[in-house]
Amino acid sequence: MAETMKGLKRTHRCGELTAANIGETVTVMGWVQKQRNKGGIIFVDLRDRAGILQVIFEEAECGAENFAKAEKLRSEFVAAITGRVERRAAAANENLATGEIEVRALQVRILSEAETPPFPIEADSRTKEELRLKYRYLDLRRPDLQKNLILRSKIATTIRTFLSEEGFLEIETPILNKSTPEGARDYLVPSRVHPGTFYALPQSPQIFKQLLMCSGYDRYFQVAKCFRDEDLRADRQPEFTQIDLEMSFVDVDDVIDATERMVAKVCEEAIGLEVALPLKRMTWDEAMNRFGSDKPDTRFGMELTDVSDVVKGCGFGVFTGALEAGGSVRGINVKGQAEMPRKKIDALVEFAKGYGAKGLAYLSVMPDGSCKSSFAKFMTEDELKALVEAMGGEPGDLLLFAADRLKLVWSVLGALRIEIARQLELIDDNKFNFLWVTEFPQFEWSEEEERYVAMHHPFTMPMEEDLALLETEPGRVRAKAYDIVLNGVELGGGSVRIYQSDVQERMFEALGFTKEKAYEQFGFLLDAFKYGVPPHAGLAIGFDRFVMLLVKADNIREVIAFPKVKDASCLMSDAPNLVDEKQLEELHLRITE
Amino acid sequence: MAETMKGLKRTHRCGELTAANIGETVTVMGWVQKQRNKGGIIFVDLRDRAGILQVIFEEAECGAENFAKAEKLRSEFVAAITGRVERRAAAANENLATGEIEVRALQVRILSEAETPPFPIEADSRTKEELRLKYRYLDLRRPDLQKNLILRSKIATTIRTFLSEEGFLEIETPILNKSTPEGARDYLVPSRVHPGTFYALPQSPQIFKQLLMCSGYDRYFQVAKCFRDEDLRADRQPEFTQIDLEMSFVDVDDVIDATERMVAKVCEEAIGLEVALPLKRMTWDEAMNRFGSDKPDTRFGMELTDVSDVVKGCGFGVFTGALEAGGSVRGINVKGQAEMPRKKIDALVEFAKGYGAKGLAYLSVMPDGSCKSSFAKFMTEDELKALVEAMGGEPGDLLLFAADRLKLVWSVLGALRIEIARQLELIDDNKFNFLWVTEFPQFEWSEEEERYVAMHHPFTMPMEEDLALLETEPGRVRAKAYDIVLNGVELGGGSVRIYQSDVQERMFEALGFTKEKAYEQFGFLLDAFKYGVPPHAGLAIGFDRFVMLLVKADNIREVIAFPKVKDASCLMSDAPNLVDEKQLEELHLRITE
């Protein structure tokens, strides 16, 4: 039988009591973590979101009725306990914030009984995730998830406070939007009032925030829910949250400045981390050449070296063939791994092939200075020596080479570098390496569509000095686009937007858009641009991902209260589910096979 | 040709400059409100979100090139202007915050030209709403909409800061949910991965916030997007925002206390209004009896009077008939309107019929004390006198009566009271009358379903003293439910929730739910309740409505950036729209006729 809390008022949270409260009579309420009877004394660990508190029942002190109730307490029962705070009779428990004290109970009410939960409520759970997600309401009691969600809330508050103080206005944009055919797949919402038509859930508030700039709001932000109906990866959810912002009358540096001060503030307030500003910046070219990635993890070295010139005339056909086809030969130096077992090297070759490489050439600089290599026999001693030297190879090093189209070489070595660093545990988990990658290419060539497509989106402003190349060499045009990267993860990105109709027209032309097609997709934005548009720029940060990195979780589900799994379903609620035939009729829909 | 802002930095917003800046050289950027050439001097009013600034171009000062550009400026062009702040040569303009000063231009760049907008960008627009909504990005430039949205952002910040300081955590709950058959109509989202199934957009985060209490988060809030596929009224939108909160280990008073302090804080910070706390409270019974409404507008009197006892034995069959059928006879006294023209009274009768009344009996107390009435002939002099006296009727008063089932009498007179107050302009627009309505009935009888249905929802806790009536007289059970009312509008409401499984079972029984049906709908919540649930309570406030009342807008669309119209479409983007056949195929859907 559940008792009521009538006449009772909680005075403190369990985890908030300290030695400063000794002597006070307090009332705490929470969940029983543990109850045990040791020689006629009942010890209860009571838990709430602030922490765990030890409560002690002695019959002489609390009376028979309360003692009997204390005996009935089981794990996860909810109890309200009134008692006196005293210094612990036993030695202090240093693992507990409340470890110096205990509460000697005078009264207890059992507010709610509980069945035995299907898994223990404790940190570092080894329960398999499916079960945890099915019983998410129990999983959410675990201290590590509580810590994550409490921090998430704090980070959101910090961001909002910072942006408000900087003059940003939080403006809500619609969730029920117009569907546009390009980009990722929309989630659709059938309209009942207009049979046969649909709303789309927003993939981002991009167009709305640009409209708000046209409307003069000057600085906008939103902690915005966005949706993409794509197959999920570890760091993706069908719905996700982004810190979305846009500023008028600014250029690249203004957005970067505001963003990095915001990020530094969050790091300081959320996890006490000092981030030195300004953050490092690196052009896209430099990032690709040094790290083979536009989101380089700079917590370790193992950078790429271009050896194309060195191997140009050598006897190894794989290298020279790639070069003759217009490709590149580049390598990474895995220090001290010259004697990596063949099996492990083979696994790396397979890994590289997963990224599209035809193979991976390797060379071990043995302790005695000699070279052991898959391709040594095709090269002269001098060629080998020059190659090792170019790679900074020293006795004990393992050199790995990819030879192919440059884009492929980058992606293979970029991925390999991360994989090897993980295997060799070269990455310092306590480092938070932020950096900006700037000057992205405006376009990338789509093999599929046989045309240039926008790397960011068609409203991204090209760099002034490259404007003239728009018609002649689009592949060389750089954009005023920037990404912020943390520990090898793209935290967010943005760009300066085109605000001149002549540049916008040239851009659509470069992208092969007819005027009609452009209008069909972006009509109301293009219309808005006719009536006076300010220079503007913005950025969006993946909020879930940012929180995940700050709490060092390895999965985005650990920072979302009610996440979905890989097939976009919710194991707790069983969404999505079947609906009544009547509901479908109202929407004028029928399900096909 | 648009110029760039390269090398330029905005130093101030237009509306921020004051006499304190006299002598400074500043750079401002904004939209041209007005340009005129008066005797060779060009006056430009430049506008941004902070206000309007007067800029003066004289060729001798700014040079021929800049002067020529200034001549080209038209309304809504975007310009960057550098100049010197000086005291106005002419008299100060007291209508303008910047009215004491002007900027004497040294340089101008035209950042963007503009076509003539389809309606003028000015406050108090008389443009019809359809056109404003089609060009919402222009409408949003108008100072009154800007003021509303800036205030909305500020109010959200105030609320979040207040709740954070009170220990509430903001926790995001999913937008893609499970559909449940009861309640208002869900918006559905077809699943691509699980053909034939659907997500539902949330009507509120009710179940999730109760789960979060089960999980120990203790104090939760969210500025939550909610969705209802219902036909729209003036204060409804298909998507709306609510301030949603929930607290553990609390009772009615705790929620009321936290909420009213939050509301008072908002009023103070947003509109400088002091709200005296605690707010007035009124039981549901009192509200209905005095005002015929569970959301009484207390800014004026004209309260209801029960005259059933007075007319009990009278000769007027409409009155006695209603009483004999178990109904009630009640009236309102419209002071000083005894001589209201017959036509107007007839219109009120029609109005009452719109609320289900069969008619409306009226009685004018003429200046000479005689009675003019539609029913005087059926009553004796004494009966009439007693009735007038019971109504507090004085010479010059108009008395209106409804006789019917009590519920209908309340609703007719409650609506009539408001309508008459509007017509007679009895309502003081500067009053903000908050109050709590408490002790709502637990159930209301559904004629349609011939059973009791929950007035709030099936998790609402009955008052302890009425628990025993649950099985015997459910109609008399009062709930621990409360609404906060502002000026006759329900701002929000909530309740204490049932946390004891035995009470919950009795509740389902009273509602005629089988255990299976309860499980089908609320399964995971009921499961969660097995594992230790704290006493908890919460509330939700309609955020759009709250902002609307604070800025004194008469339509919710005036406080939403991109609202929808009555048929749930967006006039700017044309959402909802047709989608590709391919998209429907992926969702395994076909449109029926």
Written in H, E and C, the secondary structure of A120-154 is: CCCCCCCCCHHHHHHCHHHHCCCHHHHHHHHHHHH
Distance between CA atoms of B445 and B455, rounded to whole angstroms?
A: 9
ipTM computed for the complex = 0.94
Do A175 and A41 share a structural domain? no
The structural domain count of chain B equals 3
Domain-ending residue, one of A51, A79, A112? A112
Gap between the Cα atoms of B459 and B210, Å rounded: 10
- Residue pair A88/A100 in contact by the 8 Å Cβ criterion: yes
CA distance B221 to B241: 13
Strands (E), A318-450: 328-334, 361-365, 371-373, 398-404, 434-438, 443-446
Query: Is position B529 within any domain?
Result: no
Q: Do A22 and A75 lie in a common domain? A: yes
Q: How far is B531 from chain A (nearest CA, A)?
A: 4
In a domain, B450, yes or no: no
> In terms of domains, do A174 and A223 share one?
yes
Residue B224 sits in the same domain as residue B357: no
In a domain, B102, yes or no: yes
In a domain, A578, yes or no: yes
**pLDDT of res. A511:** 87
| Sequence-distant (≥ 6) Cβ neighbours of residue A404 within 8 angstroms | A322, A327, A328, A356, A357, A358, A412
Q: One-letter amino acid identity for B318? A: V
Two tokens, residue B162? 């207040």
Residue ranges in chain A modelled with pLDDT below 50: none
Q: Is A285 exposed, middle or buried (0-12, 13-18, 19+ CB in 10 A)?
A: middle
Left, alpha or beta for A458 (phi > 0: left; psi -120 to 50: alpha)? alpha
Same domain, B353 and B218: no
* Binding-site residue positions of B for L-aspartate: 182, 228, 456, 497
Beta strands in A414-475 (DSSP E): 434-438, 443-446, 451-454
pLDDT for A234 = 65
Domain end: B78, B112, B146, which one? B112
Give a yes or no: residue A486 inside a domain: no
B252-271 and B143-165 helices, crossing angle to 10°? 140
Q: What is the CATH number for A129?
A: 3.30.930.10
SS3 A68: helix
Shortest CA gap B544–chain A (Å) = 11
Strands, DSSP E only, in A461-533?
481-486, 489-496
A224 and A133 housed in the same domain: yes
A312 Cα distance to chain centroid: 41
Tokens of A429: 């988990």
Selected residue of A5, A132, A172 to mutate for chain B interface (largest B Cβ count, 10 A): A172
Residue ranges for the known binding site of A are 182, 228-230, 237, 456, 490, 497, 542-545
What would you report as the CA-atom Rg of chain A, rounded to the nearest whole angstrom? Answer: 30
Which residue numbers of A belong to the known binding site for ATP?
228-230, 237, 490, 542-545
Supply the pTM of this predicted model: 0.95
The reply to whether A305 and A262 lie within a common domain is: no
B111 vs A contacts (CB less than 8 Å)? 499, 534-535
| DSSP bridge partners of B361 | B401
**Which portions of chain B are predicted below pLDDT 50?**
none
A357 and A316 both lie in a single domain:
yes
If asked whether residues A145 and A90 sit together in one domain, one would say: no
- Which chain B residues are within 8 Å of A560, Cβ to Cβ? 172
Q: Name the residue of chain B whose CA is nearest to A213's CA.
A: B137
Angle at Cα B278 formed by Cα B272 and Cα B279, nearest 5°? 75
- CA–CA dist A294, A105 (Å, integer): 60
- Do the chains contact at B2 and A186, CB–CB below 8 Å? no
Tens of pLDDT, residue by residue over A9-24, are 999 999 999 999 999 9
Which H/E stretch holds residue B113? none
Chain-chain contact of B149 with A140 (C-beta, under 8 angstroms): no
- Of A423, A452, A471, the residue that ends a domain is A423
Interface contact flag, A189 B192, Cβ < 8 Å: no
Model pLDDT, residue A108: 98
Is A215 contained in some domain? yes
Helix, strand, or coil (residue B554): coil
Q: Are A178 and A200 in contact (CB under 8 A)?
A: yes
Do A225 and B199 make contact, defined as CB atoms within 8 angstroms? no
* Nearest Cα to Cα of residue B433 among B300, B287, B292: B300
Interchain pair A500, B2: CB under 8 A: yes
- Give residue-wise pLDDT tens across range B480-537: 999 999 999 999 999 999 999 889 889 988 888 888 888 877 888 889 999 999 999 9
- Residue B550's SS3 state is helix
CB burial string A42-69: b at 16+ within 10 A, e below: bbbbbbbbbbbbbbbbebeebeeebbeb
Residues of chain B in contact with residue A562, where contact means CB-CB under 8 angstroms, are 173-174, 208
- Are B179 and B170 in contact by the 8 Å Cβ rule? The answer is no
Residue indicated by tokens 């019959």: A59
Q: Whole domain around residue B178: which residue ranges?
A: 125-274+535-593
Give the CATH number for residue A85: 2.40.50.140
Q: Do B96 and B137 fall within a single domain? A: no
Contact flag B212-A561 (C-beta cutoff 8 Å) = yes
Q: Across the interface, do B175 and A175 touch by the CB < 8 Å criterion? A: yes
CATH of the domain at A338: 3.30.1360.30
